[in-house]
Amino acid sequence: MAYFSLKFVEDVLFPDRPKSGDYGRHQNRVDPQIWIFQTCIWVAITLFTKMVVAIPLWVFRAPISAFSDVLFEPLSQSPQLTLLIVMVGWPAICNSWQYYVVDNFLKKSVNVLDEESYLI
């Protein structure tokens, strides 16, 4: 959803602005105005997508809770292990995956010939 929101903002709302990952580099310097604009857009998209995810979670909290009770029933004798999985393990896996995916569509693709222009 974040990817499509970003593409919508870049292609429809601000087609004349530099695309994500292109910070207006000139003489190996990042243009702060471009970077701040893109950061604000990304923060707004992130807040929007979190609301879109949070609303169904809130609406369907009872069935989700029942599902989690069934899912974690085998671990009912070990609350510490359940806590470790829920608070450390699963978030680490999900956050790592999200970082990888988001980083791949936010960064600018650089051709080999273009890469030489960014070298000092």
Confidence of residue 21 (pLDDT cuts 50, 70, 90): confident
Q: Is the pLDDT of residue 108 over 90?
A: no
> First CA to last CA across the chain, in angstroms?
37
Please check whether residue 49 is in contact with residue 57, taking contact to mean a CB–CB distance below 8 angstroms: no
**What is the span of the domain harbouring residue 105?**
2-117
Output the pLDDT for position 48: 94
Token pair listed for 113: 């010939």
Burial 74-108 (b: 16+ CB within 10 A, else e): eeeeeeeeeeeeeeeeeeeeeeeeeeeeeeeeeee
Torsion of CA 104, 106, 108, 109, to 10 degrees: 30
How many structural domains comprise the chain? 1
Average pLDDT, the chain: 85
Please check whether residue 2 is in contact with residue 45, taking contact to mean a CB–CB distance below 8 angstroms: yes
Closest CA to 104 of 21, 8, 19, 15: 21
Q: What pTM was estimated for this model as a whole?
A: 0.67
Most confident listed range (26-30, 62-66, 72-76): 62-66
Give me the mean pLDDT over the 17-37 stretch.
78
